[in-house]
Amino acid sequence: MTAVTRSAPDRLLAVLAAFDHGHTALSLSGISRRAGLSLTTTHRLVGALTSWGALERDADGTYHVGLRLWELAALAPRGLALRQVALPYLEDLYEATHENVQLAVRDGAEVVYIEWLSGRSAVGVHIRVGARWPLHATGVGLALLAHETAGFQQDYCAGPLASFTPYTVTDPAGLRRSLAEVRRTGAAVSRRQVTDDALSVAAPVRGASGQVVAAVSVVVPEADAQVPVLVPAVRLAARGISRALGWQPGPDDGTGGAA
């Protein structure tokens, strides 16, 4: 069987994709191995990326992601710009709860966390800026998934639903009921889905057109979570961010289903 030839852009992207949260510093051979490229090809591509500033090289020959990529990523409307608009409202939510506060967007079937304020004595979470989790397993993911198209939801529910604790919802019918409840109340409550000691309350953030573009959440210890208190606080933060993004609520947007 003839091997499939990878295009130049594919090889270049493979070099960049070699870096992730578990591999933030790599040698040339490490990049070559993780990218599935020959050492000669890797050396040439890494040299070009380093010259441009996408990668940076330490004195010992170790490579890291360069600031040029950060500068480019900052132009993404769902990245730094959204974080800057949302930050005052995230800080208000943090001051009201002193718990973990998060902001996330959807990327395919996953949520990507673009901001995280860590509580001083909050429950531990497996979250950091740039982290990804399946939509169904997190509060922000449920808030985002609940406002996707019916076709997207159907495809997602029909796919494999990863389990992280005995409480993770992996039943498609149960997930659909959860999504309907999110739409009804305007908030998602995710109990012990990723860790068995945490509860997340999330609400959708809308852009100027009214479309849900992000979700904000607070994560607290499940044992003493006061959900009736947290829901309005999180919804208020989501509404503030939505207004700052240009959303104008209608006359019927003051109760369940609003941001």
Mean confidence (pLDDT) of the chain? 88
The listed range with the strongest mean pLDDT (115-119, 120-124, 177-181, 190-194) is 177-181
pLDDT tens-digit series, residues 215-254: 999 999 888 888 999 999 999 999 999 999 999 887 655 4
The pLDDT-based confidence of 82 (bands split at 50, 70, 90) is confident
Assess whether pLDDT exceeds 90 at residue 142: yes
What tokens appear for 5 in the block? Answer: 């030839």
E strand or H helix at 11, and its extent? helix 8-17
Supply φ then ψ for residue 5, to 5 degrees.
Answer: -80, 125
What integer is the mean pLDDT of 8-24? 89
Assess whether pLDDT exceeds 70 at residue 122: no
The pLDDT-based confidence of 151 (bands split at 50, 70, 90) is very high
Bridge partner list, 111:
106, 133
Assess whether pLDDT exceeds 80 at residue 74: no
Assess whether pLDDT exceeds 80 at residue 153: yes
Contact 75, 84 (CB under 8 A): no
CA dihedral 223, 226, 230, 231 (to 10 degrees): 100
CA dihedral 15, 17, 21, 26 (to 10 degrees): -10
For residue 137, the model assigns a pLDDT of 93
Distance of CA 126 to the CA centre of its chain: 12
Conformation bin of residue 211: beta by default, left when phi > 0, alpha when psi is -120 to 50: beta
Q: Distance between CA 253 and CA 117 in Å, rounded?
A: 28
E strand or H helix at 34, and its extent? helix 28-35
Supply φ then ψ for residue 163, to 5 degrees.
Answer: -115, 135
Q: SS3 for 205?
A: strand
Domains and CATH numbers, the chain: 8-72 (1.10.10.10), 80-244 (3.30.450.40)
For 233, other C-beta atoms within 10 Å of its C-beta total: 17
Q: SS3 for 112?
A: strand
Contact 125, 198 (CB under 8 A): yes
